[in-house]
Structure 1
């Protein structure tokens, strides 16, 4: 490479000098594609790194508009790879590269911020798998583009989309993913790993995974069916309570509890376990929902100093009469035990609550047996 191409010498110690017409001409007439590719890469690097002044940037853009039509694939590949992060690349240049063959298009489709949603939607609707997958992996994917990716039905692209925390996937579209790609392990795995999944989606995912685990354990025959069912129920209930505990909005919690009730999964065992691990918001909201009374009224009845309030609410909720003493005991401990307000207050509160409840079980034998194992396990983990 001649030394007079001073803006492209690869160094960064000072401001690059203005590219000359001779430099442009050399790019246009040099017969060696490798030379043009190397020069294109250096110009693109300087452009992306903001090493060029305003006049030089305009000249570089003129060069790009020529090179995107270069007959040599190696030149266009070099250009795409080195311009994929250029924030102010002319839209026409980015669009032309994005419409090229895959080796040129994919780096731009995955990384370039210049491409508009309209252009991305147009490309997704053409449904070329490699291109849809590249778009699904962009740092930011709008909800409209997410919907279009899911519409393609391409499981590999959808798996990448669901695993992409920068993808703005609407709750309705997550529900579609859960329903339409239920048999695709890669999609389910990425959905399970996704942060900030809406509580309703997370609960449905837990239910599906629990059902699969139930089938696997039953088929292997290492445990009897009743033991498998008990094990799966405890795993699922713990997961549901963790999901509920992470619900930051009261509306999310109410929606989750309503959905659990509709699917027959809002059991007295689950509500009791929520109470015993100190998830009072879940307990109170669930009791209000099952009894069909406003939450404020339910709270007054639950914490009534006498037995009438809780008993009336409990029976109106239709819960098992045999567990009423356990609920009464747990609520009594809640009344007597306050949060400290210090670090890890929830953990200490839960530990004290469970200790009291387990002690009471030893005294009068009223604690339901299937919940005892859960509570002992929970207490052990809290104390560790």
Structure 2
């Protein structure tokens, strides 16, 4: 049971007029009394249990109301009363970040803790919005809100609160996290590489785009390589990738192969690029312009009246001309042109397209490596086909032996192909 506050020295509760006012049958009179900063703690405590919500609301907003009364009002039946109390409690959060020492500070923390678990999502959302960017908001309260079942409650603090730790953020994006929560975390300032890795692992296209657009986010080069491997087929990543401040020369080379031509021009203009990389990007630009016959717009959609070139048909045409080189296949992998790669593998191995596609869809690392070997490709391209075309997870990939050799014997690779019904490739 909550203890009634003791009588304060000099408090006006001895005033008969005040005592009559708090017991007046007219709610308007009691409400006026509840507004007074001079009313004694005892009488404010008494009014905290008033039958009229309008009176209790005035008590909730009164800064002279004792902490014990605020605790009662934190569980008031009326949402409006709790909302008024919330505004007052947030205003009492210490600005210096020190732990609550006095009775009032400790009771304020207790009130905020109760409101963070309020049955009304609206109250919890209001609290989240109110403390989302406060540097010294109580961490325990922020953590409760960050894990709230209502996305509208969790998102404001996930996006802005400086009190959340990496552990909190990793928990927020783990498992079957809602896209809105992942997106909120992706936009946080100075995001750590550990959290950035977790966001990329979710494979949420929008969240990764927001992460790339977040210049203060720390993204490891290995993680960026993983993003680049999937980027060709994800246009929303192209622009933020091109504008990332920390791109390596290798990343720039890869981007130049598949982003819109206007973005290739942006890459060429980067002042931090090595002159050799600038020349290579210029060569890619010219080669793409010559191949496509036009500089494509940001959407990479062909102009009206110009039919897009089918990747499979182009691969077959190059094969007939004896011009189907590893470089062409490498370009197609970077561009995410699955149709070209499938047709190229079929043409170079003599294996039907349908069988090639079946091997890739089976995500058999050994089967894919054997297919690349049969096509006469090097182990470097075989690795890329595994990762970017067959979409085999890194842990399931078959890696090169000694960094340069195929990991299987010829007999083993022939057996792998026979397993998929290729025979001798006829």
The TM-score with structure 1 as length reference comes to: 0.51
Which of these residues, 87, 91, 97, is aligned with residue 145 of structure 2? 97
Deviations 1:183-217 (A, max 9, x none): 222111222233343333233222322xx54xxxx
Q: What corresponds to 2:209 in structure 1? A: 159
Give the Cα separation in 1 of the matches to 2:114 and 2:159.
Answer: 23
> Shift of the alpha carbon at 1:153?
0.5
Separation of aligned partners in 2, 1:4 and 1:152: 54
Give the Å deviation of 1:157.
0.4
Are 1:63 and 2:111 an aligned pair?
yes
Tell me which moved more, 143-152 or 168-177: 168-177
CA shift for structure 1 position 48 = 7.2
Contact 1:48 1:83 in 2 (8 A): no
Matched, 1:246 2:272: yes
What is the alpha-carbon distance in structure 1 between the residues aligned to residue 37 and residue 211 of structure 2? 43
Higher helix share: 1
**Contact 2:242–2:267 under 8 Å retained in 1:** no
Do 2:139 and 2:164's aligned partners in 1 also have CA atoms closer than 8 Å? yes
TM-aligned CA deviation for residue 117 of structure 1: 0.5
Q: Which of the residues 24, 27, 49 maps onto 2:73?
A: 27
The answer to whether the aligner puts 1:44 opposite 2:90 as a matched pair is yes
Instruction: State the partner residue of 1:107.
Output: 156
Take 1:257 and 1:107, find their aligned partners in 2: how far apart are those partners?
Answer: 42
Q: Summarize deviations over 1:313-336 as a string: whole Å, max 9, x none.
A: xxxxxxxxxxxxxxxxxxxxxxxx
Any idea what the Cα deviations from partners look like across 1:313-361, whole Å, max 9, x if unmatched?
Answer: xxxxxxxxxxxxxxxxxxxxxxxxxxxxxxxxxxxxxxxxxxxxxxxxx
RMSD: 3.6
Equivalent position SS for 1:208: coil
Pair 1:76 & 2:102 matched? no
Matched, 1:179 2:229: yes
Contact 1:38–1:78 (CA under 8 A) maintained in structure 2: no
1:147 to 197, 216, 224: 197
Equivalent in the alignment of 1:300: none
Unpaired segments of 5 or more residues in structure 1?
7-15, 214-231, 248-252, 268-384
Cα distance in 1 for partners of 2:68, 2:161 equals: 30
Relative to the length of structure 2, the TM-score reads 0.46
Q: Within 2, Cα distance between the matches of 1:194 and 1:202?
A: 10
Give the whole-Å Cα distance in 2 for the aligned partners of 1:51 and 1:35.
Answer: 28
Shift of 1:132: 0.7
Q: What aligned pairs does 1:1-384 form with structure 2 within 5 A after superposition?
A: 2-3=34-35, 20-47=66-93, 55=102, 56-100=104-148, 101-126=150-175, 127-209=177-259, 213=261, 242-243=269-270, 245-247=271-273, 253=274, 257=277
